[in-house]
Amino acid sequence: MPDALADSSSDVPTPDSPDRPTWDIFCRVIDNYGDLGVCLRLARDLAQRGAQVRLWSDDLSPLSWMQPTPVEGLACLPWTDSARAAPGDVVVETFGCDLPERFVAAMAARAVKPAWINLEYLSAESYVERSHGLKSPQFSGPGAGLEKRFFYPGFSDRTGGLLREPGLIEAADAHVAHGAAAWLAARGWAPAPGERVLSLFAYPHAPLAAFLDALGPGWLLLLCPGAPQQELPPLLRDGQRAIALPHLSQTDYDRLLWSCDLNLVRGEDSFVRAQWAGRPMLWQIYFQDDGAHGPKLEAFLARAMTGSPAPLRARWGALSRAWNGLAPWTPEAAEALRELADAAAHARAWRAELAAMPDLTARLQAFAGLSSGA
């Protein structure tokens, strides 16, 4: 999987090009870069499948490290410049970001109306299957006459699925089999003899001290950029060490996940990539003041742990709740971190179950009325 950089200066062919459909993807950066990360992966995957893609964002600065080389067919452009653009064949409004009114008016003025899709957040909750595909006709305003449709990523055939590039799992397995140790060593991140390796990408409120107590000795912690790079090192226990990592391209972040014995991830983008890594994973869900993150975590645990041995379900549930501040730390939670063999086997089985379903990009192309090969 080559590194890829959106080329903000390249010209996208005209939207009416008959041989290559044009996609416009809109993303606003709110408080983290996870939304932009999801949009970038989708945009790149579409471009590599033959589409012309324009990714419009109000903050393009993270692209300098997310993908440092150009991608043919992909242009990343400032949100404000969309006011002068002719809409393409498919317009994707991500995470309820609300399109610019002038762009919506231009959509409505097209002789052939574009497919207008609202890409929603990922969840395993039951409402996703009920809501996926719902339509919202526009009866007034600049988009009068258009129809917006809602596309929900998810973990079943009744949802939009998960982002998965062609060849991703094969690349992950080849890396684990032949390249993980060398890849870590080449970057100065190699474990000492007998050490296991984990990656940690966490929100500032993560319970780091309790986690390190439960983790025990014999671990190298690779800390992704964020508050834990400053907060965690003074808390290290005997037999633990940490290395602060630089910002990684999305491709290298995937390789990091493939190279570790355990991955701690947060939000949505890293959460999905950790599942494709097929390694034990601990998810820190995005905290919500109304407590909605609790049921969202439980819905995922219920779906992802189905079919796993009862002791593993109990241990991993206890660990997940404790890490997310939804339950106290218990011996059962700590045991989950010491009994990773069963978790590793289940992670591979869960990945295989997910991989048996069509990927999100293919489903989105079909949803928009385009073949997956378009």
pLDDT digit string, tens, across residues 25-36: 999 998 778 899
What is the widest separation between alpha-carbon atoms in the chain?
Answer: 68
pLDDT over 80 at 42, yes or no: yes
Flag whether pLDDT at 374 surpasses 60: no
At residue 305, does pLDDT exceed 70? yes
State the pLDDT at residue 287: 85
Q: Quick check: do 22-163+359-367 and 168-355 share a fold?
A: yes
pLDDT band at 226 (very low <50, low <70, confident <90, very high): very high
3-class DSSP state of 371: coil
Res 261: pLDDT: 98
Cβ atoms of residues 2 and 251 within 8 Å: yes
Mean of pLDDT values over 214-237: 97
SS3 115: strand
**Residues 189, 295: Cα–Cα separation, whole Å:** 37
pLDDT at residue 20 is higher than 70: yes
Rounded Cα distance between 273 and 40, Å, is 13
CA geometry: angle 307, 154, 302, nearest 5 deg:
30
Considering only CA atoms, which of 41, 23, 268, 35 is closest in space to residue 168?
41
- What does the pLDDT look like over 348-363, one tens digit per residue? 999 999 999 999 999 9
Query: Could you tell me which residue, 19 or 342, shows the higher pLDDT?
Result: 342
Distance CA 48, CA 345 (A): 32
Distance CA 102, CA 86 (A): 10
Q: Can you tell me the distance from the alpha carbon of 221 to that of 199, in angstroms, rounded to the nearest whole number?
A: 6
Output the pLDDT for position 174: 96
- Condensed to tens digits (0 to 9), the pLDDT of residues 121-156 reads 999 999 999 999 999 999 999 999 999 999 999 999
Torsion of CA 84, 85, 86, 90, to 10 degrees: -140
Q: Quick one: pLDDT at residue 17?
A: 54
> What's the rounded Cα separation, in Å, for the pair 46 and 302?
31
C-alpha distance across the termini of the chain, in Å: 20
Residue the block writes with tokens 């990408």: 201
What does the pLDDT look like over 263-282, one tens digit per residue? 999 989 999 999 999 999 99
Give the closest residue to 26 by CA, choosing from 8, 38, 18.
38
CB of 79 within 8 A of CB of 57? yes
Check: CB of residue 303 under 8 Å from CB of residue 353: no
What pLDDT, on the 0 to 100 scale, is given for residue 228? 96
For residues 332 and 338, give the distance between their C-alpha atoms in angstroms, rounded to a whole number.
10
Q: Tell me how far apart the alpha carbons of residues 79 and 74 are, in angstroms, rounded to a whole number.
A: 15
For residue 68, give the DSSP letter: -
DSSP state of 80: G
H or E stretch covering 29: none
* pLDDT at site 14: 53
Task: Look over the chain and give the mean of its residue pLDDT values, rounded to a whole number.
Answer: 93
pLDDT score, position 7 = 47
Better pLDDT: 11 or 195? 195
The domain ranges of the chain are 22-163+359-367, 168-355
Of 273, 310, 365, nearest to 37 (Cα)?
Answer: 273
Mean pLDDT, residues 157-173 taken together? 97
- pLDDT (0 to 100) of residue 19: 75
- Higher-pLDDT residue of 372 and 43 is 43
- 322 with 330: CB under 8 angstroms? yes
Active site residues: 35, 268
Is the per-residue pLDDT at 201 higher than 90? yes
pLDDT band of 9, cuts 50, 70, 90: very low
Distance from C-alpha of 25 to C-alpha of 364, rounded to nearest angstrom: 12
pLDDT tens for residues 238-262? 999 999 999 999 999 999 999 999 9
Output b/e per residue, 159-177; b: 16+ Cβ within 10 A.
bbbbbbbeebbebbeebee
| pLDDT classification of 85: cutoffs 50, 70, 90 | very high
AA letter at 58: D
- Residue range 93-101: mean pLDDT, rounded: 94
pTM (2 d.p.): 0.93
Architecture of domain 22-163+359-367: 3-Layer(aba) Sandwich (3.40)
168-355, which class in CATH? alpha beta
Alpha-carbon distance 223 to 231, whole Å? 11
